[in-house]
Structure 1
Amino acid sequence: MTTTNSSVRWRGWLGPALLAAGALLTSGCLRVAFTVANQGQPPADASAAYASGPRNGIDIYRPTGATGTVPVMVFFYGGSWRNGAREDYRFVGRRLAQQGMLVLVADYRTYPETIFPGFVEDGASAVAWARAHAAGWGGDPRCLFVAGHSAGAQIAALLGTDQRYLAAQRMTPTDLAGVITLSGPLDFAITGDLVPVFGDPARWPDAQPVNFVDGDEPPFLLIHGLRDKVVEAQDSRELAARLQRAKVPATLKLLPEGGHSTPLLGLYQPVQAPEVLPAINAFVGACKRASEA
């Protein structure tokens, strides 16, 4: 079993910050949170299946006002590897599409339908599908990014560090232009209700992205709130440090007043977390500039 540097307390709901719409709402269930976040957001421009099964769908958001080919972003949501639905993240798809990206929000199997590493394998399948089909939607497969929040960030990070998942799809981590983690569990303790999700303890070290850094990773952008009480910011600090020691470009953006949902709040209502969207745009824009050079 790996030695970890953090203790994770998981919740199956998004924090009240995500409900902010001019004034912070202090109560409400998950459904209310997404209803507020997605108010006025049209549904995805298209949907597809990247694999067979009800949990293997992907929603596609076309870029707004873009010319030529555009960067591609595959996004994985959080939910403790137990919950989540791609349609609840329309606000993410629309916000990033407004920045000129082709955005694909992917479902994946969750516990108890699967256990680790099933959801990471699904993530690799979704990324391979995006790479194969991006050009048909105006995307540039040379600028293919993966991103995720919370549990989704762990999936994204493993795709960028542990080459086995993309290798099964005839890809490598270097086929990715970059990985973005938002409030990511990247070096975490598997205790309590996480034990059944991650199965055999012999495989628990494989769930930690920090264990696979060897210098062949794509660039990383790690965004984390210093007041996150669900996943400690030390997780992002540790992965960033290991990437940097391996000479992998890694940008760590710490939000001094940020909690677990603050990076999502920066996508829902950018004025409330103004550091988030510019950091993502700069990170993604570097690939677009290089591809056009």
Structure 2
Amino acid sequence: MAPYRLWLTILLLPLTGYAQRTEGLIHRADTSFSNAGAYRQARKHYPSIVLVTDSVPPGVQQARNVPYTTIDGHTLQLDVFYPVHSRKPLPAVMIIHGGGWRSGNRQQHIPLAERLAAQGFVCFTVSYRLSTDALYPAAVHDLKAAIRWIRAHAATYHADPTRIAALGFSAGAQLAALLGSATNVPALDDSTRNMDYSSAVQAVVNIDGIVAFIHPESGEGNDTRSISAATNWFGYTRTENPDLWRQASALTYAGKQSPPTLFLNSSVARMHAGREDYIAILQRYGIYTEVHTFPDTPHTFCLFEPWFTPVLNYTTVFLQKVL
């Protein structure tokens, strides 16, 4: 196993001698990844799948387009879904969309947020700055600010500020895992927004997201045909600034402070790079982990039936167990 633990104390990154790439900062939305597009692509090989759509269940209240922060001219919003008649604070789930840190939007996982809310969770689907507008670690800063905002406003939505999970898909899952393990890392926190509140999470649900960028199982950083999503996000290739790529890897920080983690994975092996190494570390400290791999599935499996309902059920049971 590579010595990921050696990188735990990284606070300042060395100069690399390479200029940071900024051509990806196009300052307009990249709409290349959407649920509809993913459905059209997936049904070529899985013609019987059904795209799960937005439908608020009975007993679930919603608050859409709630601003949670403004930074560098960007007002970032979230949506909230919560049970109407709760008499006690409920565990919260922050849901982070995927799209290669460049595309996608928080609306893509509203169906999951709605169904989880019906199961007794307060769910927040969040926006964050993508690589079209800001390079790493801006997205991490935003999501830590969102967790703090959730704690600051927990009473409004009957959420329990001591029980917050980060759930993500694909790039969102990579971010969720990083939020879970990289606590108290100054380089990953801008230290300006809602600092009276903790940005720690008590559980992670990782839906097909890597936990290590530089790893034998990782396919990130292949720039042979075009600039890869990760290179666009970091502004450096993996050879130009490997320390930065390691800094963004949850495996770098995995240890006794890491929260219980659920892995829900497709059959696309490269999308769970580093998973077994990560699990081994958590198990060493007696931290609960759970893995469910869905055979013969596309990367976007969680958006479609027949896989959406098992994803919902596994997530519900896991969160009820650990929160």
Report the TM range for the smaller structure's normalisation.
0.7 to 0.9
Deviations 1:222-272 (A, max 9, x none): 1112x226x43343333222222233222222223333112333xxx4x44
Contact 2:202 2:260 in 1 (8 A): yes
1:50 aligns with 2:81: no
Match among 176, 193, 213 for residue 156 of structure 1 = 176
SS in 2 for 1:95: helix
SS in 1 for 2:178: helix
Question: Aligned residue pairs: how many?
Answer: 265
The residue type paired with residue 205 of structure 1 is: R
Contact 1:64 1:98 in 2 (8 A): no
Contact 1:220 1:251 in 2 (8 A): yes
SS in 2 for 1:59: strand
Scaled by the length of structure 1, the TM-score of the pair is: 0.78
The residue type paired with residue 217 of structure 1 is: S
Q: What is the CA–CA distance in structure 1 between the aligned matches of 2:62 and 2:38, rounded to whole Å?
A: 20
Instruction: Kindly report which structure 2 residues correspond to 1:250-289, keeping only aligned pairs within 5 A, or say none.
Output: 250-265=289-304, 269=305, 271-272=306-307, 274-287=309-322
SS in 1 for 2:167: strand
Give the aligned partner of residue 222 of structure 1: 263
Is the helix fraction higher in 1 or 2?
Answer: 1
1:186 aligns with 2:207: no
Q: Structure 1: any 5+ residue segments left out of the alignment? A: 5-10, 28-32, 289-293
Q: What is the CA–CA distance in structure 2 between the aligned matches of 1:17 and 1:99, rounded to whole Å?
A: 29
Give the aligned partner of residue 234 of structure 2: 198
Deviations 1:40-98 (A, max 9, x none): 55994333211104451111112266442211110100000001222333212212112
Scaled by the length of structure 2, the TM-score of the pair is: 0.71
Higher Cα Rg, which structure: 2
Give the aligned partner of residue 16 of structure 2: none
Q: Structure 2: any 5+ residue segments left out of the alignment? A: 5-30, 214-219
The residue type paired with residue 71 of structure 1 is: P
- Return closer, same or farther for 1:133/1:287 CA change in 2, 3 Å cut-off: farther
Q: What is the CA–CA distance in structure 2 between the aligned matches of 1:12 and 1:264, rounded to whole Å?
A: 16
How far the C-alpha of 1:116 sits from its partner, in A, is 1.0
